[in-house]
Each structure stands twice: as structure tokens, then as C-alpha cells.
Amino acid sequence: MIALVQRVARAHVEVAGRTVGAIGPGLLVLVCAEPADTQVQALRLVDKLLKLRIFADAAGRMNRSVQDLAGGLLVVPQFTLAADTAGGNRPSFAGAAPPERGRELYEAVLRLACERHAPVASGEFGAHMQVHLVNDGPVTIPLTIR
């Protein structure tokens, strides 16, 4: 799985003008399933997200996790993270899982996140979304989970 993690002061996702998911301080996580991914990668991703120490402690060092903060998770599907631009100017998305498998794994990430943490909000798989965020830092971390 591929994920792009952004530490945010707040974030929300809109679909057709309505808010479908919102959080205050926490992590905005853009998620892409790859063809070989399974539930194992979904679990590893959630474990990494919950333990990733990218929030400031009392000394101002990145030493606290979203769990330590009781911060939010906003999980948004984004197959374009698998873009391959090596062959020209139009990206290929062959590195992303097929839509039905991508949906299944995205939903697994959401389910696992909800079982282990609160609050968790989400985007909408397959929808055209507007993602609004205030990146805190800014801190943006790419993750590849194998």
C-alpha cells in the first residue's frame, strides 16, 4: 500500500458540496492499494499510522503519535498515488489495484482504524472529492507498506 500522511490542524472532504468527513488536529491519510496488497498490508498501514511519532512533545520534538494526542484520522482513497510518469507526460495508473480490490482494501483500512482509534472520518471511494486541509508544520510523510 502507498500512503501520503499529512499532519493537519484540521481537514475535511466534500463530495458534491456536502462534507462527508472532517477532523480537527490529526492525520489526513491518502491511501492507494496496489495489486499485490492484502489485509496484511492494511493492518500494517493502520498500525504504522497510529504509532507514527510526528506530533510535538512538550520540548517541541516530534515524539508523539496521533494516539497520544487522541487526534483524528481522515482516511481518503487516492489511486493516483500509484501514478507512473516514466513513460511520458500522461500518467499510467497500472500500479494501482483494480477498483473493486482497491475499495475492499480501503474499507479494510477504515474498519481496522475504527476498531483501534477514534475519531476516524473518511472520504468516499470512487467519488470526485474536494479535500480541504490546514497542513500543520507542514509535515508530509510518504509511506510504502509491503
**Selected catalytic residue, list 39, 80, 130, 144:** 80
Cell of 76: 481518503
Confidence of residue 137 (pLDDT cuts 50, 70, 90): very high
The percentage of the chain sitting over the pLDDT mark of 90, rounded to a whole number, equals 99
Quick check: is 93 catalytic?
A: no
Section 93-108 average pLDDT: 97
Rounded distance, CA 15 to CA 50, Å?
26
C-alpha cell at 45: 498501514
Domains of the chain: 2-144 (3.50.80.10)
Q: Is 130 a catalytic residue?
A: no
Concatenating the DSSP letter of every residue in 24-44 gives SSEEEEEEE--TT--HHHHHH
Q: Does 80 participate in catalysis according to the annotation?
A: yes
What does the pLDDT read at residue 67? 98
Amino acid 72: pLDDT:
98
Name the residue among 30, 45, 41, 44 with its Cα closest to residue 101. Answer: 41
What distance in Å separates the CA atoms of residue 78 and residue 128, rounded to the nearest whole number? 10
Of the chain, the percentage scoring pLDDT greater than 70 comes to: 100
The contacts of residue 120 (CB under 8 Å, 6+ apart) are: 72, 73, 74, 75, 110, 113, 114
- What's the pLDDT band for 62 if we cut at 50, 70, 90? very high
Query: Tens digits of per-residue pLDDT, 33-56?
Result: 999 999 999 999 999 999 999 999
What is the rounded CA–CA span in Å between residue 14 and residue 39? 27
Residue among 6, 41, 55, 78 flagged as catalytic: 78
Mean pLDDT over all residues of the chain? 97
